[in-house]
Amino acid sequence: MKVFAISDLHLSTVVEKPMDIFGKSWENYFELISADWKAKVTEDDLVLLPGDFSWAMRMDEALPDFEIVAKLPGKKVILRGNHDYWWNTLSQVRTAIPQGFYALQNDCMRFGDVLICGTRGWICPDGDNLSAEDTKIYLRELERLKLSIAAMQKMRKPTDKVIAIMHFPPFNGRYDDSDFTKQFIEAGITTVVYGHLHGKDCRSNLYMKKFGIEFYLTSCDLVGNKLTEIL
């Protein structure tokens, strides 16, 4: 089984919110993603989709977006992003999404010898940049990650490979360590996938190794609308 990742699809099958207004990298982007997906992924493989899957505001609006991705091969793990307003309770999401999709929140999932854990994350501290509301969300996301890692540790076997996924970067713009990275280090997690960042001018490294961890940035416009192979 191979593991791939691509984030921030921002699909809008029903909602009128075309992404090509943001530049050429978004022109026909889903067609490019689909072609690359079909060329790389088999039904036995796993594709991680860490956030901002759909612009829909409600689940009934998001389902057509799920349907077009459901036609693509492989098992798909989704994580909530900051623009996934259609995501209500976890039980509602898991009941509604098509077969072959797996929604991750506060827990861990096993696919063969691969364990997937993680959380959405939030803006990381960089001086006094966090408002009171940002701090509240940041702390809540730390607790969500703690729950997910605890679930992973209960399932973990010596031969397992562990991948943590987040929507937000787990560090600030200077790549300082954070409470997120500290949890990864303590748990012995050495592979982390994230998204959220966009645009050619954003400060980003598609791949970076720091703190003994391999970090993969997989926002679709930054990776040329191609899936990144993680394992």
Q: Which residues of 18-51 are buried (b: 16+ CB within 10 A; e: fewer)?
A: ebeeeeebbeebbebbbebbeebbeeebbbbbbb
Look at strands 161-166 and 114-119 and give their pairing: parallel
Q: What is the pLDDT of residues 126-147, one digit of tens each?
A: 988 999 999 999 999 999 999 9
Helix (H) or strand (E) holding 31: helix 29-40
Q: What is the pLDDT of residues 169-214, one digit of tens each?
A: 999 989 999 999 999 999 999 999 999 998 766 667 899 999 999 9
Kindly report which listed range (12-26, 42-56, 114-128, 213-227) carries the lowest average pLDDT score: 12-26
Q: What is the pLDDT of residue 30?
A: 95
The number of CA neighbours under 13 Å toward the Cβ of 117 is 30
What mean pLDDT comes out for the span 29-38?
97
What mean pLDDT comes out for the span 36-61?
97
> In this model, does residue 67 exceed pLDDT 80?
yes
Look at strands 114-119 and 109-111 and give their pairing: antiparallel
> In this model, does residue 218 exceed pLDDT 90?
yes
Q: What is the pLDDT of residue 165?
A: 98
What does the mean pLDDT of the chain come to? 94
Q: How far apart are CA 102 and CA 79, in angstroms?
A: 9
Q: What is the pLDDT of residue 22?
A: 59
The number of CA neighbours under 13 Å toward the Cβ of 23 is 8
User: Which has the higher per-residue pLDDT, 180 or 16?
Assistant: 180
The amino acid that residue 124 corresponds to is: C
> In this model, does residue 25 exceed pLDDT 90?
no
Q: Give the full edge-to-edge strand order of the sheet including 191-194.
A: 109-111, 114-119, 161-166, 191-194, 213-217, 207-210
Q: What is the pLDDT of residue 144?
A: 98
